[in-house]
A and B are shown apart, each in its own frame.
Chain A
Amino acid sequence: MDSTPVIALVDVRKIYPLLSGDVHALDGVSLRIEKGEFVAIMGPSGSGKSTLMNQIGCLDVPTSGTVRIEGQDIGLLSDFDLTALRRDSIGYIFQKFNLIPLLTAYENVEYPLVLKDRTYDTSGRVQALLDSVGIDAALAAHRPAELSGGQQQRVAVARALVNEPAILLCDEPTGNLDSKTSTQIMEMLARLNREGRTVIMVTHDESTAKYADRTIRIQDGRIA
């Protein structure tokens, strides 16, 4: 079904009730993202881009409106199904890398795969993925704390890819990296996009936004 967009938001509102009055973090956002696009979401802090990101990432559901991921209305899903959707269809890349400190780099990449398949991979796929982001087997045996920021983010990219997700969702992926490493990570994301992956990236850095095909700007909970 080529006509179904990977992500479709229709009039999405997210309201946080506070004593001082409701906060409209998203105030009627509609957007479509097709398969294979590289989209940057930009906006100042407090603009609602994190809230939008949480909606697309299935971490949260809208107060009203619909969010469809590969055609599925996430507002209708149970927590269990929403969690399974995050595991199977979304690959997260966070600003702070967010690797699991108890697991080695290899195990971090293996983890979502084991969660999904309930069995350990024996095909060598995990190490192949790690190799493709430049982490060799010796490095992969280390815990995240023993790796540099750039290395951790590479591991995070491999982890995001392991379950062949429909969407690669990046939240300020270069925010904690120096400019040289940032370029390497952005080149990597661009390459993954050329290979056909849908990449969504939240950023406030114009220099990383230029890698995207399209930039969506958010201001006060609306698309500007």
Chain B
Amino acid sequence: MKKPDIIFQLSVRSVRLNLLRSVLAALGIVIGVVAIASIGMISANMTLSVTEELSATANILVVTADSGGGGGEPGPGSGGSSSDDDEDYLTSDQFDDIRKAAGSSFVYYLYSESDRIETGDSSGHATIYAMEDEAMTEILTLTEGSFPSTTSQVVIGPDLVERYGIEVGSKVSIGDEDDDEGETTVRVTGILEERGMSMDINSDSAIITTEKFFTGRYDGEDEYSQVNVVVDDIDEIDTVKESIEDSLNKKENEVKVEDSSRMLDSISSTLGTITSFALAIAGISLLVAAVSIFNVMMMSVTERIREIGILRSIGTQKNEILRMFVYEAAIIGVVGAGIGAILSLIIGYVVVFGMVGTTEYFFAWDSIINVPEGMIIGAVICVVSGVYPAWRASKLDPIDALRAE
């Protein structure tokens, strides 16, 4: 049986002799590793779950009016003195152009507004959408009831159902009595299936009305908020996108065409920023751990000066003394990081479930990789913190060290 390196044995025994001190120092590393790994996992799980939801709508292009290039251009037929200077809409001419450019893709326009709603005792805000009847049946799915057939009928997203306790047959008031548009009461005829987050239409917390109701209430007929293009073949999405841009943005940038990758990028970058910030805070906990390891190692060196003198005088090399203390820091680091890894699996699982709502992606590579990553960072920080004290120990003059009490 091969016994371990005698220098390593000395390190192990030193850790064991000062067990409480070593455990307390390791605790810092445990906390640091758990913080880093858990935050990394939350971020990865959020990204994965958002990506999954968005990929369901990866074949959709959203076309909106391009308001980027200076607001001074008087559009055809748009009254210069309209009540709000909101010119961010697409016209029916533009819609026809898009439809032509999009080939065989299913193209539909969408009206949208945000308004106050009231049902029973509670009130709040919701998005009001309207679209052609044909688009409604094509795009949306009902879990219950039927699509609206008159202007006083609407269908409603599942989030609103949950929030306000609405059911088929409930009455909902849209708008405020004191506003220009006044208050209109409609009846819910259907409840939509949950669609999750998507870029084309967020129907989960919206009310879908008929086109006639919408334009009757908010005016702006043929002034579409956006036009959605459902591309048949996902591989064609770039071709269709270019074709629409070529057709409409010939002279000036009239429209903006976005696919879900843009949205994904922007969500990822937002998540990335939040994650970096959280990781920086977790990093502080590792910094504190590094300071405590440094302190413990300096104490260990100081306490053992005489022993170092003995070891040196009977022929222990400088590099062996250095190794002895680096090993000591490494043992604390590896044990701390190991415990941290186990705890971050448990704590991470709970936190991911709590914050992301699903642990579906917990064991995915992008998520689980955070555990070994956190472990390595923790262990490396520990070793690095031990290097200076170890170097100090190795530099001690054997005669002076022997004289120490």
- Contact status B318-A103, CB under 8 Å: no
User: With the chains together, A100 CA to B317 CA distance in Å?
Assistant: 16
Bound Cα distance from A84 to B398, whole angstroms: 14
Interface centre among A79, A83, A99, A163 (most CB of B within 10 A): A83
Per-position binary interface string of chain B over residues 304-340, scored 1 when its CB falls under 8 Å from any chain A CB and 0 otherwise: 0001001111111110100000000000000000000
Which residues from 16 to 47 on chain A have a C-beta closer than 8 Å to any C-beta of chain B? none
B317 touches A102 (CB 8 A): no
Q: A102 contacts B14, CB within 8 Å?
A: yes
Taking CB atoms, residues of chain B closer than 8 Å to A54 are 399
Confirm or deny: B20 has a beta carbon within 8 angstroms of a beta carbon on chain A.
no
Instruction: Pick from B313, B314, B316, B317 the residue with the most CB of A within 10 Å.
Output: B314
Tell me whether A103 and B315 are in contact in the complex, defined as CB-CB below 8 angstroms, given that A59-B398, A59-B399, A60-B399 are known contacts.
Answer: no
A57 and B313 contact, Cβ closer than 8 Å, known pairs A102-B14, A115-B320 = yes
| Chain B residue at minimal CB-CB distance from A86 | B315
Residues A83 and B10 in contact in the complex (CB < 8 Å), given A59-B398, A101-B307: no
Kindly identify, within residues 351 to 405 of chain B, every residue whose CB is under 8 Å from any CB belonging to chain A.
Answer: 398-399, 402
**In the bound complex, how far is the Cα of B17 from the Cα of A100, in angstroms?**
13
Give every chain A residue within 8 A of B310 (Cβ-Cβ): 98-100
A interface bracket (residues with beta carbon within 8 Å of B): 20 to 34
Question: Among the listed A102, A116, A120, which residue makes an inter-chain contact with B10, where contact means beta carbons less than 8 Å apart?
Answer: A102
B218-256, CB under 8 A of A: which get 1 and which 0?
Answer: 000000000000000000000000000000000000000
B8 to chain A, nearest CB (A): 11
The smallest C-beta distance from B133 to any residue of chain A, in angstroms, reads: 85
Closest to B12 in A: A102
A112, CB-defined interface residue at 8 Å: yes
In the complex, whether B13 has a CB less than 8 A from a CB of chain A is: yes
With A59-B399, A60-B399, A102-B17 known as contacts, the answer to whether A112 contacts B10 (CB < 8 A) is no
What residue of chain B has the Cβ atom nearest to residue A87's Cβ?
Answer: B315
Complex contact B6–A92 (CB within 8 A): no
- Asked whether B163 is an interface residue with its Cβ less than 8 Å from the other chain, the reply is no
Q: Using Cβ atoms and an 8 Å threshold, which residues of chain A touch B10?
A: 100, 102-103
Chain B: minimal CB distance from A39 (Å): 20
Q: State which residues 75-91 of A face B: CB under 8 Å.
A: 79-80, 83-84, 86-88
Given known pairs A102-B14, A115-B6, the reply for A87 and B399 (CB within 8 Å) is no
- Tell whether, in the assembled complex, residue A84 and residue B315 are in contact, meaning their CB atoms are under 8 Å apart: yes
Interface size of B by Cβ–Cβ distance < 8 Å?
A: 20
Question: In the bound complex, how far is the Cα of B318 from the Cα of A83, in angstroms?
Answer: 9
Which residue of chain A has its CB nearest to the CB of B398?
A: A59
Q: Are A98 and B402 in contact (CB under 8 A)?
A: yes
Any chain B CB within 8 A of the CB of A159? yes
Q: Are B314 and A87 in contact (CB under 8 A)?
A: yes
Bound-state CA distance A116–B320 (Å) is: 12
| Nearest CB of chain A from residue B381's CB, rounded to whole Å | 26
B297 to chain A, nearest CB (A): 16
Give min CB distance, B359 to chain A, whole Å: 46
Chain B residues lying within 8 Å of A163, measured Cβ to Cβ, are 315
Q: Which of B14, B311, B315, B316 has the most CB of A within 10 A?
A: B315
How many angstroms from the CA of A101 to the CA of B16 in the assembled complex?
13
Q: Which A residues are CB-close (under 8 A) to B311?
A: 100
In chain A, positions 41-65 with a C-beta closer than 8 Å to chain B are: 54, 57, 59-60
A115 touches B307 (CB 8 A): no
> What's the nearest-Cβ distance from chain B to residue A205, in Å?
21
Closest residue of chain A to B319 (Cβ to Cβ) is: A80
User: Which of A99, A102, A103 has the most chain B CB atoms inside 10 A of its CB?
Assistant: A102
Mask, B12-30, CB within 8 Å of A = 1, is 0110010000000000000
List the A residue with the shortest CB-CB distance to B316: A115
Cβ of A114 within 8 Å of any chain B Cβ, yes or no, is: yes
User: Is A211 interfacial (CB 8 A cutoff)?
Assistant: no
Instruction: Judge whether B14 and A111 touch: CB under 8 Å.
Output: no
Partner of B6, one of A59, A101, A114: A114
Add 13 more A-B contacts to A102-B10, A115-B315 (CB < 8 A): A59-B399, A83-B312, A86-B314, A87-B315, A92-B314, A99-B310, A102-B13, A103-B13, A110-B6, A114-B6, A115-B316, A115-B320, A120-B3
Chain B positions near chain A (C-beta within 8 angstroms): 3, 6, 10, 13-14, 17, 307, 310-318, 320, 398-399, 402
Q: List 12 A-B contacts (CB under 8 A).
A: A83-B318, A86-B313, A100-B10, A100-B310, A102-B10, A114-B6, A115-B6, A115-B315, A115-B316, A116-B315, A159-B314, A163-B315
A positions within 8 Å CB-CB of B: 54, 57, 59-60, 79-80, 83-84, 86-88, 92, 94, 98-103, 110-112, 114-116, 120, 159, 163
